[in-house]
Amino acid sequence: MKRICLLPIHNWMHRNARELELARWKYLFEDGDKMEVVNALLYYQNSDGGFGNAVDPDNWNQNSVPYGTYFVLEILKEIDFFDLYHPIYIGIKKYLDCTSNFLEGWVFTLPSNQEYPHAAYYNYDVEYNKVESKGIIISFCSFILEHYPQSAIYDEVIKIVDTMIREMYAENQGDMGASGYVTLFLAMKKANLTNYNYHQIEQILRELVNCSIQREPEQWLSYGYRPSAYINSKDSMFYVGNEEIIEKELDFLVDTLPQNDVWPISWSWFENNVTYPKESSISENWSKAYKTIEKVVFLRNFGRTYK
């Protein structure tokens, strides 16, 4: 079985990662304190409770942006931190409850992005938002269902969830669509929402996920949906039937790990590399760090790492 040694990656992270990713790395692989992660996240939170300030390295907008808040919720989930009375969550709940942010404000790109360095796919685009905002809406609804039923917009969220479930077969689900539906499905079950055929929804999810997984290693060099996008461990509901392709991706990661470096990211700022050359280079290193954490967690969960 092919495995990777963690020491060179450990050294790279300590030399290159910003405080946030280093705190995550230390918590996940060095018996660090999860509160160091929470405290690092607080530096990116604004007075309205939302997140910006390049918490997502690809968008340096200092204002609160919906994807920034989504980004933070995923990290809090990763470290299993759900103290809803902590200031970080009090702020998030304030941000989600704000009527000026709700729904029409839960979009992927904002006009204010244009005032700050950002990747090209963050260029403000109303039509693009109609597709790419879906994952953010699903994520926020899932959080409210599972952790914040006292929300002022809970009743509206229930209506949105119903619409989203009816649109599961939509032709274009956006970048976060299928994975977002997995999160929504689990949140709906935990919230004990009635009047849904969960067996049928699960079957549709399996179909969506299996159809979106890229199954050729040649595809994994560019941006797309690797098996690990949906299957992080053997406990995944999608693992059975995908065992072989998971092993193939694990081997691929071991084989493609550069010496004295970490894996490159599979996207760029495209034309905005020229507009923001310095910032895009900094962002690339930050993004390499957070994607490395995802990859090493995946490898570790399948017994493919050693110290």
pLDDT recorded at residue 222? 87
Per-residue pLDDT averaged across 253-263, rounded?
96
Secondary structure (DSSP) of 209-223: HHHHS--SGGGGGSS
190-213 pLDDT per residue, tens: 999 998 999 999 999 999 899 889
Indicate the range of 33-47, 94-108, 166-180 predicted with least confidence.
Answer: 166-180
What are residue 202's phi and psi, to 5 degrees?
Answer: -60, -40
Per-residue pLDDT averaged across 233-261, rounded?
97
pLDDT recorded at residue 174? 63
Domain ranges of the chain: 1-34+235-307, 44-212
Per-residue pLDDT averaged across 122-147, rounded?
94
pLDDT recorded at residue 223? 86
Using only C-alpha atoms, what is the Rg of the chain? 19
Longest dimension (CA), the chain: 54
Nearest Cα to Cα of residue 276 among 128, 125, 108, 115: 115
Q: Is the pLDDT of residue 299 over 80?
A: yes
pLDDT recorded at residue 171? 60
104-113, 221-230, 285-294, range with greatest mean pLDDT: 285-294
Nearest Cα to Cα of residue 89 among 179, 22, 97: 97
Per-residue pLDDT averaged across 80-84, rounded?
97
Assess contact for 10 and 279: CB atoms under 8 A: no
Run of H or E residues at 5 = strand 4-5
Assess contact for 79 and 34: CB atoms under 8 A: yes
Q: Is the pLDDT of residue 56 over 70?
A: yes
Q: Is the pLDDT of residue 281 over 80?
A: yes
Distance between CA 51 and CA 118 in Å, rounded?
15
What are residue 7's phi and psi, to 5 degrees?
Answer: -60, -50
Q: Report residue 228 CA to chain centroid gap.
A: 12
The residues pairing with 51 across neighbouring beta strands, listed in sequence order, are 45
Per-residue pLDDT averaged across 98-112, rounded?
81
What is the share, in percent, of the chain residues with pLDDT greater than 90? 88
Q: Is the pLDDT of residue 169 over 80?
A: no
Per-residue pLDDT averaged across 88-102, rounded?
87
Q: Is the pLDDT of residue 4 over 80?
A: yes
Per-residue pLDDT averaged across 90-107, rounded?
84
Per-residue pLDDT averaged across 215-225, rounded?
91
Q: Is the pLDDT of residue 100 over 70?
A: no
Q: Is the pLDDT of residue 178 over 90?
A: no
Helix boundaries (H) for the chain: 6-16, 19-29, 34-42, 66-78, 87-97, 126-132, 134-147, 154-166, 177-190, 198-212, 243-256, 272-275, 277-301
pLDDT recorded at residue 167? 85
Under the banding of pLDDT at 50, 70 and 90, the label for residue 9 is very high
